[in-house]
Chains A and B, each alone.
Chain A
Amino acid sequence: MSSEIKDKVIAIIAEQAVLEPSDVTEGQSLADLGIDSLGLVECIFAIEETFDISVPFNANEPDQSDFDISSVASIVTAVESLIAEQKA
């Protein structure tokens, strides 16, 4: 299950970055991948739609969100925990 979530999240991020999923590595940040603030908001929307979850994210205070967007890996972890919380 977990690797399925990871694959889907990476696919979403890759699409936004116009890259192949195989070119996205977990240590990269969205900035490394050339994704700007609008791209981030689109990623979050795609994540919400794909997993049917609600992501607490306000573009005015991205650092204060519980949703850690500092790297691809942190986004995967955050999505996993939101799914665990909201689908429990």
Chain B
Amino acid sequence: MRRVVITGAGTVNALGLSVPATLAAMREGKSGISDLNFRDVDRLAIKIGGQIHNWDTESRFNRQQIVLYDRFTQFALTAAREAITQSGLEFIGDLATRSGVIFGTSGGGLTTQDDNYRMVYEEGKNRVHPFVVPKLMNNASCSHVSMEYNLKGPSFTVATACASSNHAMGQAFNMVRCGMATAMVTGGSESMLCFGGVKAWEGLRVMSKDACRPFSLNRNGMVQGEGAAVFVFEEYEHAKARGADILCEVAGFSMTSDASDIVMPSKQGAARAISGALQDAKLNPDQIGYINAHGTGTAANDKTECAAVADALGYHADRVMMSSTKSMHGHLIGGTGAVELLACIMALKDGVIAPTINYEEPDPECALDVVPNEARDVQVDAVLSNAFAFGGLNAVLALRRVH
């Protein structure tokens, strides 16, 4: 089978509007969580999130684009531009037909739905803009990126809640690996920070009102974020032949289903996904230097995830570093695995391990090295990125440093 490498990365999220800005913030352990600012926020009980505040839509897109681009599409297009520019690829001829786009998202154009439902239900209007459907559809971001960059190969959108991005990137990885595609533009995008989006999450009573504190004994829930991250996955020989700058190798992927509960996580399902990714990558547990945790900051996830890692890695679990960058950028739901992959690339390429910030009290049920509060300079050769979705759908990626 062919090897797959990452040759481009792009992002916009609450920590920064580019990869360098985001990695600098992660290195410094900065928080991107702030007071939410949108219509009707005063009617919410949860008023914080990883919102992108300095997003000037009008300066980024023209009028014709804005009527078609929901915020999640705007984020995806902006991140894709950074990633594809970095890769140096130009999708023409055979490369265009052999390259596609696979994105994860959970809510799709949720802000567009929210705005338009409000208009017809609350304001009593009987007419909506003609482009509401193409603007809100979950595959809008995928399709606009394919049109913008002439990507004519296999393209679709994956929706598996909090694991969407990892599932999407896993598909892209396997398509390049098995020869279905030469390059794939992949990642995820989410923009649920609108009144209806946050109100729905509030109902479940798992959100924190003050901060996301993964693995800390005093954690009290998740904090939502928004944004996108996009990568160029490319066949290794193709990248090498053109002298591309290789960020790291995607070495393995595994997905499992808990088949047990619609919201509660399962140790067994998560552990099987972690072990599966190691096997797929032909890595031993003791070769893993860092794990980017799912680490939502809920009582249930964090202790289950630590137990799953201990099961899958055995004695090595006591030595591995595992952090949750959700403490900084929030939980981007369908886009979260993509933004978190940036921390994995930083670990492999720069030898910097992003911290879990807001860590205040050790929890005996989360007794792993969670890299509390401060980044560390450690060179690692292989890493994992966990994503465990509501509905019990788990997706874990394994990545390796390319020497």
Contacts and interface: CB of A to CB of B under 8 A. Distances in A.
Contacts of A54: 45
B272 interface: no
B18 interface: no
B219 A60 contact: yes
Interface stretch (B49-57, B68-76, B108-116, B198-206): B198-206
A58 B263 CA distance: 15
Interface residues of A, number: 11
B372 interface: no
Contacts of B336: none
Nearest to A37: B264
B299 interface: yes
A57 interface: yes
Contacts of A45: 203
A61 B263 contact: no
A45 B177 CA distance: 48
A59 B219 contact: no
Contacts of B298: 59-60
A60 to B, nearest CB: 4
Nearest to B207: A58
B208 interface: yes
Interface residues of B, number: 16
A31 interface: no
Contacts of B262: 38
Interface in A13-47: 37-38, 41, 44-45
A44 B206 CA distance: 13
B221 A58 contact: yes
Contacts of B264: 37
A54 B203 CA distance: 12
A29 to B, nearest CB: 19
A30 to B, nearest CB: 15
A38 B263 contact: yes
A41 B204 CA distance: 7
Nearest to B296: A60
Contacts of B300: 60
B54 to A, nearest CB: 31
B24 to A, nearest CB: 31
B220 interface: yes
A61 B207 CA distance: 11
A60 B218 CA distance: 10
A37 B262 CA distance: 11
Contacts of B299: 59-61
Contacts of A61: 220, 299
14 contacts: A37-B263, A41-B203, A57-B205, A58-B206, A58-B207, A58-B208, A58-B221, A59-B204, A59-B205, A60-B219, A60-B221, A60-B298, A60-B300, A61-B299
Interface of B: 45, 203-208, 219-221, 262-264, 298-300
Report the 5 A-B pairs with minimum CB-CB distance, sorted nearest first: A60-B299, A59-B205, A60-B221, A60-B220, A59-B206
